[in-house]
Chain A
């Protein structure tokens, strides 16, 4: 419980520190988020190793699934905070940002991280809803932070679509509450662990409707097609550290909400209903991303559509539902968080150097910005499932599990194959054009500092886990798979 207090308290204290001492805010941000990462990893270790635990009289809940999300959020947040220092310095130097506004970025950033860390730790699904809505509100201000017309447009769309979407999820929560008040444990309220224990007695008709509403609602936030239309705008337009945070941390966080209700619906309705829906929406998300990746005109939007594809892959894996698929789903979330952060930092560094993110104007990056260009190519290979990177291992696991499963799962794997190959081809084509063609005459000087570590280190880790998955990771992934297991043995 001390660790929970540390994990949730550190971002809050850091935000306060940034407000009190604006000049120190970059350093306070880094220190706070690294400490929070340490606390989160400690907390996650508890969650992975022990049976599920509840705290504070049932307000908090920690199992392997929440532990995974906490670890991913804290990890991406720490990377993004470290990256934000040089990013903001460059934006100030290029005149896009007044120096006296820098500390506001750090304040909102820490508050966003706080809301994201609260989502997996809250036991009450109503409170979880509040926290997820909180992440929308705080991150929307970050997307609009630079205040250019396109930023405002992206933030407006993001807020409108996600707030409406999440209103549907609230309807789902209300229905769940109603179903619970007529179930075997009427006093359970909205506490997830008690709902799960009494799930078999919940009215299946209502829970079916509730799951669909929640899938639409939190699915909007998780970037699942066809509700994904805000995502390329917000992820493409936001400041680079925010893009990394939204893609690597916030998408899994929202998907977590869907998964919790998937477990409830599976208990109440039977396993196939919600699993088939997840497979369907996963396949749609993977396929929708393909044409937009192939004919993309903006580097960060390219990466955003790749996020839509990857969330689809995770939804597919959870829908397949065998232990191997669930293990691979957890592994894939981890891979995506690392790979996508690396990609956004590399793309952001290149974009600042050229002063644009239009693919047509980004040329010859290998001569202009050697380290980010190398990072971009390697991270692209890593994220699109090329062996020997970790993403290859997790996608192979999902494919193998799906081929051994139901007809729907086999069809899903076919879509996975098509989408992965096409997205890989499209991304590599665009990225190689950016890196290899003749460079333009004039580019802007930017200070990058030790930024190459931000894409170098994640890519190295992805390479390592692709070759050999150490028990310190495979144990937790297996624990997550056990939490998500709903199929009859």
Chain B
């Protein structure tokens, strides 16, 4: 008999592999599609929890996840990619193999830390919290090791996804209106960053953030 916990555990692992893949891959279009996959899996996890616990508001959370994280944010990212004619993360700070090794280390760290935290989570799942922590750390890794503004944005959304998953597992999500606020903020953040990316592209003729190093001291 497969319980809801096992389903969530499996989905969380799938989510983790998406995040690992986005560390390894450099094609930016694939990156955005991986983000869509991440967000869809996240919504499925929320929906599974809704079925298992009967918590009505989780359906709403799942729907919002699909709308904001799997549809609007990726659409904005695709719009940026079209505008700036960019396909690949050309020269990341770390070569893919080193980045992947670092990612594995971070995941081990997250699983050890998540195990030690020993929460009596609202939803019984062995993997959800450690995977949430892993996503957060992998997102940070992406932001630190990529040079393109868009990759950094993708890292940012991965971090947010991780926190969201940890929140789902620990407390079945925040109170609903706070959740609304968080979604709204994410939406505005992505739009504002998109606007800035356009203007950086117009001004510097590139979206490499290492051209942004005039301000020091």
| Interface residues of A, Cβ cutoff 8 Å to B | 124, 126-127, 129-130, 133-134, 137, 140-141, 144, 147-150, 152-157, 159-160, 163-164, 167, 170-171, 173-175, 177-178, 181-182, 189-190, 232-233, 236-237, 292, 295-297, 301
11 A-B contacts, Cβ less than 8 Å apart? A129-B178, A137-B185, A137-B189, A141-B195, A157-B215, A159-B189, A178-B170, A182-B120, A190-B175, A237-B215, A292-B217
| Interface residues of B, Cβ cutoff 8 Å to A | 119-120, 122, 136, 140, 143, 149, 152, 156, 159-160, 163, 166-167, 170-171, 174-175, 177-178, 181-182, 184-185, 188-189, 192-193, 195-196, 199-200, 203-204, 209, 212-215, 217
Given contacts A160-B156, A182-B120, contact A171 B163 (CB under 8 A): yes
A147 and B185 form a contact (CB under 8 A):
no
Q: How many residue pairs between the two chains, A and B, have CB atoms under 8 Å in the bound complex?
A: 116
A174 and B174 form a contact (CB under 8 A):
yes
Known contacts A167-B156, A178-B122, A297-B217; 6 further A-B pairs (Cβ under 8 A): A124-B177, A124-B178, A163-B156, A178-B170, A295-B217, A301-B217
Q: Residue B214 contacts which of A137, A150, A301 (CB distance < 8 angstroms)? A: A150
Write the chain A residue with the least CB distance to B184. Answer: A130
A164 and B175 form a contact (CB under 8 A):
no
Write the chain A residue with the least CB distance to B133. Answer: A171
Min Cβ gap B55→A in Å is 13
Write the chain A residue with the least CB distance to B153. Answer: A160
Complex formed: what's the CA distance from A190 to B181 in Å? 14
Task: Please report whether the interface of chain A is mostly helix, strand, loop or mixed according to DSSP.
Answer: helix
Contacts of B159 in A (CB 8 A): 164, 167
Q: Looking at B188, B192, B204, B209, which has the most chain A CB atoms within 10 Å of its CB?
A: B192
Given contacts A130-B184, A147-B203, contact A159 B192 (CB under 8 A): yes
Contacts of A156 in B (CB 8 A): 149, 196, 200, 209, 212
Contacts of B170 in A (CB 8 A): 174-175, 177-178
Complex formed: what's the CA distance from A157 to B143 in Å? 12
B149 and A170 form a contact (CB under 8 A):
no
Complex formed: what's the CA distance from A178 to B170 in Å? 6
Min Cβ gap A160→B in Å is 6
B136 and A171 form a contact (CB under 8 A):
yes
Contacts of A177 in B (CB 8 A): 167, 170-171, 174-175
B163 and A189 form a contact (CB under 8 A):
no
Contacts of B184 in A (CB 8 A): 130
